[in-house]
Structure 1
Amino acid sequence: MTDLYADKIEIALRTYINDHQGSLTREQAISTILENWFASHGYLPQQQEGLRPEELDASNDD
């Protein structure tokens, strides 16, 4: 990978992490990006939308 290409990827990765309020580690961000790309290109099944574990509480126990 060229330095120019690596710089562009690094900037995009940092921006992605910042857009998620810095709640992702570098490894988590890369994993999320790859998972989303693979799913959107048919390499992984699409995930169903739902509540994140931290959003679950007794009020949504149905």
Structure 2
Amino acid sequence: MSDFYAEKIETALQSYMSDHPATSTRQQAISTILENWFASHGYLPPQQEGLRPEDLDASNDD
């Protein structure tokens, strides 16, 4: 990888970490970015979130 691209990627990574304060380490940021990319491109199943407990009622029972 050329120094130009390495610098651009490092800048983008620092921007990502600034925008996502819960991402505390560089490795965690890279892992999150890769997981999101793989999921959005079909290499990983999309992350699914269920209903929040306050949204559950008898109509949700099967």
What TM-score bracket applies, with the shorter chain setting the length? 0.7 to 0.9
TM-score for the superposition, normalised by structure 2 = 0.75
Q: Distance in 1 between matches of 2:9 and 2:16?
A: 10
Equivalent-residue separation in structure 2 for 1:49 and 1:12 (angstroms) = 28
- Residue 49 (structure 1) shift: 2.8
1:2-61 superposed Cα distances (whole Å, 9 cap, x missing partner): 00000000000000000012x3210000000000000000000000135xxxxxxxxx48
- Gap regions ≥5 residues in structure 1: 51-59
Q: Distance in 1 between matches of 2:49 and 2:31?
A: 18
Q: Percent sequence identity over matched residues?
A: 69
| Secondary structure of 1:5 counterpart | helix
Moved over 4 A (4+): none
Give the 5 Å matches for 1:4-43. 4-21=4-21, 23-24=22-23, 25-43=25-43
RMSD: 1.9
* TM-score (ref. length: structure 1): 0.75
